[in-house]
Structure 1
Amino acid sequence: MTTSFPSSFDDCVARDRDDPLAERRDLFALPDGLLYLDGHSLGPATHKALARLEQAAKDEWAQGLIRSWNDAGWIDLARDTGARIARLIGAGPDEVLVCDSVSTNLFKLAAAARDLSASPTLIIEEDEFPTDQYIAEGLAQLTKSNLLRVRPDEGLQRLAETGGILIRSAVNYRTAAVADMKEAEKVADLSGGVIVWDLSHATGVLALDMSIARLAAGCTYKYLNGGPGAPAFIYVRQDVANRITSPLPGWMGHKSPFNFASHYEPADGVARFANGTPPILSLSALAAALDAFEGITPAELEAKARALGDFCLSLAEKIGLQSSSPAISTRRGGHVTLHHENGYAIIQALIARGIIGDFRSPDAMRFGFSPLYTGFADVWRAMDALGDVLKTGEWDSPTFLARAKVT
């Protein structure tokens, strides 16, 4: 827990010098002079990931061709990479598989959860990440199930009342508020309901214990730095895996895919949730990116991310900005959200200065603090520049006010 903050830029530099994770920054191919505070949305490339991607394309694909499914271990890459992610979320190595997208995995799990739930009712909070809401809505329409779209923080109450299937993020994408997963799972158990967790903003920045949960999905392109569009992962606790079936029984989820049987027989465990052919190039980059986490515990990652977030909040308060993120010394995800009615233009002005954060409508400015490559000096520089942009009104320019497609 952070009890004191650096009082000057030099103090920040000194604290970064003593940081045991500081050397990890050299693993990343970040442009010189750029301050990247958007890793909660898209993590930067590592040198190893870029090299591995080239090897997979030029050697294994171009030269090895189809032989690489065996010779280069392609056939086991989704399973092996999932086992490495398992360590970062407090799961067993046989409980995580890399496959498909978060949206697809949430659909598969929410549909499969009907085998575990006393009620088919789907529950989603109205401030949940949009794709989670869309998946719940689409699945409800497809299965003709009841959908309860409830107000923020009412999901557990409705789950306790009705049972059913709740889709919920472990970390809120706007505020970085962290759900109490242990208490939530107690509610699910007592109600006969099931929670499908979205770990997208939690994986790689929080210390999790997924043994308390049954089902989850998450992305790999944020804090895990897997690359744009990197495949997601799916988690199914071992004691329930063989009791549920995927609604998308793909070839790779078959017990013996290369027997080419006409009828589907699910593989054991989480492997039954595999669908089509795994994206080997993306998987190769992700596998190499995970090397950056070797030798680090999730607790260390969370401690540093929280300290950086605390420092950001302390500096933001001094320049008069309000935040919807959990307060200093409170558990939160790896980003901090500040608010200003002209937030979009302000973020664009910062990007023009080489400081990259992001914006979420209507007025949220988000700054992410990946513990692997961000330091106290980075937070100082970002908040100092933010204060200057506000003081000078630099944001009030047609260039910065014009909205791009991606915010």
Structure 2
Amino acid sequence: MTTDDLTTGDLTTAGQIPSASELAAEASALDAADPLRSLRDEFVGSETSLVYFDGNSLGRPPRSAAARLETFVREEWGGRLIRGWDESWMQLPFLIGDTIGRTALGAAPGQTVIGDSTTVLLYKLLRAAFDSCAAEDPRRVEIVIDRDNFPTDRFLAEGIAAERGGRVRWVEVDRAAGVSPELLREAVGPQTAVVLLSHVAYRSGFLADAAELTRIAHDAGALVLWDLCHSAGSVPIEADAWRFDLAVGCTYKYLNGGPGSPAFAYVAERHQSALAQPIQGWMGAADVFAMGPSYAPGEGMRRFLSGTPPIVGMLALQDTLRLIETVGIEALRKKSVALTEFAVRLADALLAPLGVTLASPRGAGERGGHITLSHPRMREVTARLWEQDVIPDYRDPGGLRIGLSPLSTSFTETLEGMRAVRGALE
């Protein structure tokens, strides 16, 4: 079996469930053909029997992060103390931001910065985009967003619309899919200020056609803010080529930055000087240490910072960025597709006979790095699996979410987890 065979195979024969030996043989063959298989050893816990199906919520920690953090505490923080700000820390949000842009976003330098939480950065950019569009054309008072977008995105859209005298235009979507070009065309128009979309839907794993949806929004005269939380580090993104206006993503999923590691913000260079972000803090000022009587925004991406950067929270993800840059995002996407295709075939063979349905797109080109399996008992199943060191995620209604990180997940681990799901259901 070669790497081209990773997404092929038929686990069923004459409607029969494959034997344990047949399944193990296929998983073993897929692992042997995987050019990224050695990278699994780079992550803490990969040597254990625990099955981790939640890499799209919180990635495993890189082994090298422990040494990086220890060195930082001893040498940079402990040894240099406050001098660290002048020597390197002040530039870290921009340096790491540019690395994220280069390795995971398809973004030229000077357009990505890392700093606040996902929620805070989404608020900043959504508010800034809404205000800019409304100021240019007072008719533009609508934020377009789908009903099944992540709660934070929906809550922020509602809050900003109320705060700024606007309104939300809801897009009704299939929960097993997402926003299509046809749906967006019907939603946008002369009153649209900003369109807020997720590149990969958090529930179904639906992969949006980001280039086409961006074009549709632009044709309507609107700006687009992309939520990249479930795609950055797993799915190729071409922010510059696809003419993104704005984007935000977290770093604790496929970038393995650790619990609560800070998010990143992308603002296309053409918009940077025109947007006024609403949380005016000292770190976003033109002269950070002038301590002047009034606020003047900094140049470029500095103006989108607010408070003191969370330096410790930025450290661990640098090791994953190094791995992504080494192997390339296209290789990660190929492995991700192979993993989800294998999981779908296992679900068809092992779980469909028990009444489980796929609540994600079947086509690999319409799917990100996770799938969702639907059954009325999945909440109970999830609790039982956690007790067995099999860790998926649960999402209402009745959805078992299987997140497969291409850097740290093997095909054998995927098989063992899916067999455990079958056992829990039985």
TM-score after normalising by structure 1: 0.91
| 2:27 paired with 1:12 | yes
Per the alignment, residue 368 of structure 1 pairs with 403
| 2:417 paired with 1:382 | yes
- Return the letter of the residue paired with 1:240: H
Q: 1:53·1:282 contact (CA, 8 Å) conserved in 2?
A: no
Q: 1:5·1:311 contact (CA, 8 Å) conserved in 2?
A: no
- Return the letter of the residue paired with 2:77: W
Task: State which drifts further: 48-57 or 240-249.
Answer: 48-57
**Residue 102 of structure 1 is aligned with which of 108, 118, 123?**
118
- Return the letter of the residue paired with 1:133: R
Q: 1:124·1:155 contact (CA, 8 Å) conserved in 2?
A: no
CA offsets per residue over residues 246-291 of structure 1, 9 Å max, x none?
1112211112212222222222222210110001111122223423
| 2:220 paired with 1:185 | no
Q: 2:190·2:221 contact (CA, 8 Å) conserved in 1?
A: no
| 2:71 paired with 1:42 | no
- Aligned-partner SS, 1:330: helix
**Residue 3 of structure 1 is aligned with which of 8, 11, 14?**
8
CA distance in 2, matches of 1:79, 1:113: 21
- Return the letter of the residue paired with 1:3: T
- Aligned-partner SS, 1:210: coil
CA distance in 1, matches of 2:345, 2:50: 23
Q: 1:89·1:207 contact (CA, 8 Å) conserved in 2?
A: yes
Per the alignment, residue 186 of structure 2 pairs with 157
Per the alignment, residue 292 of structure 2 pairs with 261
Per the alignment, residue 265 of structure 2 pairs with 234
Q: 1:160·1:187 contact (CA, 8 Å) conserved in 2?
A: no
**Residue 174 of structure 1 is aligned with which of 196, 200, 203?**
203
Structure 1 unaligned residues grouped into runs of 5+: 392-407
Per the alignment, residue 278 of structure 2 pairs with 247
Pairwise CA distance, 1:55: 2.3
**Residue 124 of structure 1 is aligned with which of 113, 128, 145?**
145
- Aligned-partner SS, 1:312: helix
Q: 1:343·1:365 contact (CA, 8 Å) conserved in 2?
A: yes
Pairwise CA distance, 1:103: 0.9
CA, structure 1 residues 294+340, in 2 after alignment: closer, same or farther (shift >3 Å)? same
Taking only the aligned residue pairs, the percentage that are identical comes to 35
CA, structure 1 residues 350+210, in 2 after alignment: closer, same or farther (shift >3 Å)? same
Q: How does 1:292-303 map to 2 (within 5 A)?
A: 292-303=323-334
Q: 2:133·2:193 contact (CA, 8 Å) conserved in 1?
A: no
- Return the letter of the residue paired with 1:95: Q
Q: 2:54·2:392 contact (CA, 8 Å) conserved in 1?
A: yes
- Aligned-partner SS, 2:366: coil
- Aligned-partner SS, 1:367: strand
**Residue 348 of structure 1 is aligned with which of 370, 383, 390?**
383
CA distance in 1, matches of 2:151, 2:332: 27
* Alignment: residue pair count: 390
- Return the letter of the residue paired with 1:169: S
Q: 1:266·1:272 contact (CA, 8 Å) conserved in 2?
A: yes
Q: 1:170·1:179 contact (CA, 8 Å) conserved in 2?
A: yes
CA, structure 1 residues 302+244, in 2 after alignment: closer, same or farther (shift >3 Å)? same
Q: 1:95·1:269 contact (CA, 8 Å) conserved in 2?
A: yes
TM-score after normalising by structure 2: 0.87
Per the alignment, residue 144 of structure 1 pairs with 165
| 2:49 paired with 1:33 | yes
